[in-house]
Structure 1
Amino acid sequence: MRAVVFESADQPVRIADVELAPPGPGEVRVKIAAAGVCGSDLHVRRGEWSVPAPLVMGHEGSGVVVELGPGVTSLAEGDHVVLSWVAPCGRCRYCRAGHEARCQVAANVVAPGGVLQDGTSRLSLGGERIHHYLGVSSFAEEAVVPASGAIKVREDAPLDTVALVGCAVATGVGAVTNTAAVVPGSTVAVIGCGGVGLSVVQGAKLAGAERIIALDTRPEKTALAVTLGATDQISGRDLNVAEAVRDLLPDGVDYAFDAVGHQATLEAAIQILGLGGAAVAVGLPPQGTLARFDPLVLAEADQRILGSNYGSVRPAVDIPALVDRYMDGHLKLDQLVSRRATLEDAPHALEDLASGEALRTLLIPN
């Protein structure tokens, strides 16, 4: 099959003919309908995260189940699925407590990564084994994934568009509803209006927030945020986030979401909190990034700093529910798609994302 292969940050990603072995026990093979190009893919491309290489890129996607591995009874051939890069084991103490996003088995797949849950790979190139990315590798015509990472969704949903639910939408909406548990009437600031940030905006609207301030360097992105539920927009390349937000809300906000993942943006999220506020780290930074805060202020103001991994979602429950909200018109996904492209256009799609021009490019392999 054709797949997008990353070998090192010093070389361009390339399209290669990759061999895909059949699914093993508890796994399924999925024909990919669409794969979203995400900031995490960009970190890999830039060499900002340590990953085993070579690997097949991609972790956000959707498709149709075409083959079942031994022992799989939860899915059938022909099922429409959204891929979840957290494939819960269902057995560890976090899964048993309902915190599937913290699954210990899935965490071992994510880091150090490169393999599926049994510690082996289904991918090879020129006779040599190569690596999976986050247990998914969706920048390809097909993927073999754990059955618990292929979430069945309704068949009347457009399969390409709902690929976004597999990462951007679940991460953004989940950060609001699950991690922060935003309550009605709250004030919210969202720093960064890419695919994840715009999903945070929509999550805040769904949660009943009274004020939602969207911030980004690009005015067209904050303008889009307003159409998706933001009540205020602030944009500019030389933006002082703290001053701009305090001009609107002198007492600060109840919740501040950093959907960018830079030192400066997380520090700004902490600085704009009001009494009892929570800053939520949603966007992922390069490895080794450190942020500063004043612990005395944090303690005296009864504030919190929260990390949100994959929106703290329960994939089997939350992903179908998010697809339902899209189909019911309460969640906008089409507006998050910048364009659709082929696998061969993956290098350009990554460049568009790096420039800030794109929200989500969908790669359509087949």
Structure 2
Amino acid sequence: MDTQTLPLTASAQVWTGGSDFRNLSVDLPELAHGEAMATIDLATICGSDIHTISGRRSGPHPGILGHEAVGRITSIGPGGIQDFKGRQLQPGDRVIWSVTVACGQCARCRAGVTAKCVELLKTGHEPLDGVWGLSGGYSSHIHLRRGITMVSVPETVSDAAAAPVACATATVMAVVEAAGMLAGKRVLVSGAGMLGIVACAVAQHRGASAVHVRDINPERLALAQEFGATDAAAPNADRTRLAVDIAIDVSGAAQAVESALGALDISGRLVLAGSVSPGPAVSFDPERMVRSLLTITGVHNYEPRHLQEAMDFVNETRDTYQWDALVEEPRALAELPFVMQPPTGRSLRKSVTPNVGTIRRTS
């Protein structure tokens, strides 16, 4: 166990319901076998947290939100800890961590579906008085429980590029795995938020013959073209029927889902990842599904391998795509209540940091 001196408490912005937050001191827990403590260098604000405080999705409170973050290990419990590649981690090592914490023993975990573990805990989704109170990124420290996946962050990757990997980029890796081989395929991406922009970049990088993106925001459509889209337009911009092999919906909009399904060519596959809050039902024609050999599948969260794949992808493409440009300049953690708003323009993520002077800006 590391014996360096640690503070006794973390400083956290605790969500208390609605749009209300309180700046509280939270006791640091004693570390058990296979656990660690880390400081938060930067946390980005995922749209799902904005949905939570606006009431579009439920969440326990009081609690510490935030599941896209990057930080450094400060203390390690008995037995040590390893990153996904099996490297023994040490205090000072820079890491990101998974959205999910799985038991590793239940039938779902044994079947490789750890994202749906029967005892699942989720980063930034746990009550403050529960078994994992210090679970969110909107805090000076986070308790990394046994069962969480940790991935080392190369020094060539900036904080702004690394933090969204923990949710958006890793989720896209799960999505494209579900989509199958992309090389030579015509791909449609519905929604040009963070997930959609990443999906465009991955599709282009993996050799898609065309990457169509649909969104109602002109600035995000322009951004998509900088990240691999070959065709970016508003929905129903023309009456020409689009035909694609793979459609990916990350918008969650029922009309977009129906349009994506309608665009599938023979043997086409639709992957749904944006429908994570209640919405209207979507109809489909079973005969067309059968005769056209179509497939619809859903993706929610991701597996440990996807987190590593996402970090590798961002590092590999750091000179191709301006990942830093997608994240606004960070604000102090105390300002979190004022920045929990959807980003505007070309920005896809707002961000906060407990210690502004520690941000790594590798380009």
- Structure 1 residues 341 and 208: alpha-carbon distance in aligned structure 2, compared to 1, 3 A threshold: same
Once the two structures are overlaid, the 10-residue window that deviates more, 37-46 or 313-322, is 313-322
1:337 maps to which of 320, 327, 338: 327
Look up the SS of the partner of 2:61 in the other structure: coil
Aligned ranges 1:57-76 → 2 under 5 Å = 57-74=65-82, 75-76=89-90
Q: CA deviation at 1:264?
A: 2.4
Instruction: Pick the aligned partner of 2:94 from 80, 94, 100.
Output: 80
1:352 equivalent in alignment to 2:342? yes
The answer for the alignment partner of 2:16 in structure 1 is 7
| CA RMSD across the alignment | 2.7
2:86 corresponds to which residue?
Answer: none
Unaligned 5+ segments in structure 2 are 1-9, 83-88, 356-363
- The match for 1:128 is none
Per-residue displacement from partner, 1:58-97 (whole Å, max 9, x unpaired)?
A: 0111100001123333222111101211234444455455
Secondary structure of the corresponding residue to residue 84 of structure 1: strand
- After superposition, give the CA deviation of every residue in 1:145-190 in whole Å (9 maximum; x if it has no partner): 22533322323432343111111111124312x1212321111111
Q: How far did 1:13 drift?
A: 3.1
Where 1:61 maps in the other structure, the secondary structure is strand
Deviation digits for residues 116-172 of structure 1, max 9, x if unmatched? 9xx71344xxxxxxxxxxxx4011111102253332232343234311111111112
Alignment match, 1:126: none
Which sections of structure 1, spanning at least 5 residues, go unmatched? 124-135
User: Could you tell me which residue of structure 2 aligns to residue 114 of structure 1?
Assistant: 126
For this pair of structures, how many residues does the alignment match? 338
SS in 2 for 1:7: strand
Change (3 A) 1:22 1:356: farther
Cα distance in 2 between the residues matched to 1:283 and 1:298: 21
Cα distance in 1, alignment partners of residues 138 and 218 from structure 2: 30
Tell me, in whole angstroms, the C-alpha distance in 2 between the residues paired with 1:211 and 1:282: 20
Instruction: Give the letter aligned to residue 8 of structure 1.
Output: G
- 8 Å CA contact retained: 1:153, 1:323: no
* Residue in 1 that maps onto 2:59: 51
Aligned to 1:137: 136
2:184 aligns with 185
Name which of structure 1's ranges 355-364 and 194-203 shifts more when overlaid on structure 2. Answer: 355-364
In the alignment, is residue 324 of structure 1 matched against residue 338 of structure 2?
no
Distance 1:315 1:164 in 2: 13
Shift of 1:223: 0.5
For the 8 Å contact 2:220–2:346, the answer to whether it is kept is: no
CA spacing shift, 1:349–1:283, aligned 2, 3 Å: farther
Which of 251, 264, 267 is matched with 1:276 structurally? 267
> How far off its partner does 1:197 sit?
0.8
The answer to which structure has the higher helix fraction is 1
After superposition, the Cα gap between the structure-2 partners of 1:221 and 1:278, relative to the gap in structure 1 and judged at 3 Å, is same
The alignment partner of 1:346 has SS state of helix
> For 1:20-64, what per-residue CA distance to the aligned partner results, in whole angstroms no more than 9, with x for missing partners?
323333221110011111121122112222322111110111100
Give the stretch that moved more between structures: 82-91 or 72-81.
82-91
* TM-score, scaled to structure 1: 0.82
Q: 1:155 to 1:200 in 2, by over 3 A?
A: same
**Is the contact made by 2:14 and 2:24 (CA closer than 8 Å) also made in structure 1?**
yes
Q: Tell me how far apart the structure 1 counterparts of residues 22 and 223 of structure 2 sit (CA, whole Å).
A: 33
Distance 1:189 1:315 in 2: 21
Residue 197 of structure 2 aligns with which residue? 198
Task: Say if 1:228 and 1:160 are closer, same or farther in 2 by CA, change over 3 A.
Answer: closer
Q: 1:266 to 1:212 in 2, by over 3 A?
A: same
Is the Cα contact below 8 Å between 1:277 and 1:302 reproduced in 2?
yes
Query: In structure 2, what is the Cα distance between the partners aligned to 1:324 and 1:272?
Result: 33
Superposed, 1:131-280 pairs within 5 Å as: 136-147=135-146, 148-176=148-176, 178-235=177-234, 239-240=235-236, 244=238, 247=240, 250=241, 252-280=243-271
